[in-house]
Structure 1
Amino acid sequence: MVGTTDLASGGPELKARWGWVVALGVVFLIAGIVALGSVVTATVASVFVVGVMMTLAGVAEIIHGFQMRTWGRFFLWILIGALYVVAGFIAFSNPLLASVVLTLLLGIGLIAAGIVRGILAAQLRGAPGWGWILFSAVITVIVGVMIVAGWPATSLFVLGTFLGIDLIFAGAGWIAAGLALRNA
């Protein structure tokens, strides 16, 4: 198929390092299991990372603001950057409060994404695989409703659970990729 690549296209150097790819997968897998074993700690850790990213983004916005040639844009960039930095510091100072806000936004976002995906599935009705799109839309809405319905109590574990599950799937993917490289 034109335009597609496989793992072996990385060349012999990637194939020779298949063990490192598997090792990376194992690290991800273990990290995911640990995260699921302590979802509250994983939630706090994920909020901390969000806080770091927001603070860095805010600093970048402020730096960019100083490069603006007009005062109107200067103040807007500085304001945006300052808001990001403040939000980042709120995440640092009170990660559980930040997890409450992020969890509510996640739940609402999942509901909205599921509805939009359902509309897409309805438009694709009759096309191959449209039922799977509809199924994923329903699951996404259900997960979003469950998060919002249990909010704010769900804030203690939702983000950590999502992090753990993501790490486990990423780990499994890297392990599979490494084994495929070995067998290529």
Structure 2
Amino acid sequence: MKELDTITVGLAQMQQQMLDYMQTHWRLFLFEGLFFILLGFCAFIVPQFFSVFIVIFLGWIIIIGGVTQLSRVFLLPKTSGFGSWLGLGILQLVVGFLLIADPIAGVLTLTMMMALFFVVEGTIKIYMALQMRPLPQWEYVLFSGITAVVLALVMVAFWSDIPHWLLGVFLGVNMIMLGVAMVKMGLMHKAT
């Protein structure tokens, strides 16, 4: 029984700290939420561009990582594991090039990765919402988490038939849901 009391007191303290933090930084939540809503609408309005842009951007990041790794390997050829580092650098260059060369195929691969991301993100949001439960507006975080999990399930269920622009739509919906939750929390905890 004493352990249950300790857990209850600890949970109450954590919730009070969360409430204090939200009241102190309500503007941050508000502006971050508005930014996510703006990004979400951009992704939603031009989903095909957004999907292809994400893949090309990721391709360039991977290429830059590969070039960086290969530069280090050739500058320090006596490094332990030279062959492994060289192989990883070449792999990064090849994968990055393939993403840039055929972004539509990259979108399908990225769609599956985003489905996994949405499941993890949604689960974390649901967990956070349940921790915030007595605080005002916790339901919006819960709804945002459930939305992310549902989007992931739809993506997995129809993966082979998903048009390449749908990733941008789903990403936009997810960002808008997160943004609305953050705006609501920011406005609710506005210092009075």
Per the normalisation by structure 1, the TM-score is: 0.61
Distance 2:67 2:47 in 1: 30
Letter in 2 for 1:144: V
From 162, 166, 170, the equivalent of 2:178 is 170
State yes or no: 1:145 paired with 2:171. Answer: no
State yes or no: 1:6 paired with 2:14. Answer: no
Aligned Cα RMSD in Å? 3.7
Question: Offset of 1:24 from its aligned partner?
Answer: 2.6
Letter in 2 for 1:163: L
Which ranges of 4 or more aligned residues in structure 1 deviate by more than 4 Å? 63-71, 104-107, 138-142
State yes or no: 1:99 paired with 2:107. Answer: yes
Letter in 2 for 1:76: S
Distance 1:35 1:160 in 2: 5
Q: Which residue of 2 aligns with 1:33?
A: 41
Letter in 1 for 2:88: I
Question: Offset of 1:40 from its aligned partner?
Answer: 0.7
Question: Offset of 1:155 from its aligned partner?
Answer: 4.3
From 162, 166, 173, the equivalent of 1:158 is 166
Distance 2:52 2:159 in 1: 17
Question: Offset of 1:19 from its aligned partner?
Answer: 3.1
Per the normalisation by structure 2, the TM-score is: 0.59
Q: Which residue of 2 aligns with 1:48?
A: 56
Distance 1:20 1:160 in 2: 26
Q: Which residue of 1 aligns with 2:65?
A: 57
Question: Offset of 1:91 from its aligned partner?
Answer: 1.9
Give yes or no for contact 1:7–1:180 (8 Å, CA) kept in 2. Answer: no
Percent of pairs identical after alignment? 21
Distance 1:6 1:181 in 2: 11
Distance 2:95 2:36 in 1: 29
From 23, 27, 34, the equivalent of 2:31 is 23
Question: Offset of 1:82 from its aligned partner?
Answer: 1.6
Distance 1:156 1:48 in 2: 13
Question: Any unmatched runs of 5+ in structure 1?
Answer: 114-134
Distance 1:143 1:52 in 2: 25
Give yes or no for contact 1:22–1:177 (8 Å, CA) kept in 2. Answer: yes
SS of residue matched to 1:29: helix
Q: Which residue of 2 aligns with 1:129?
A: none
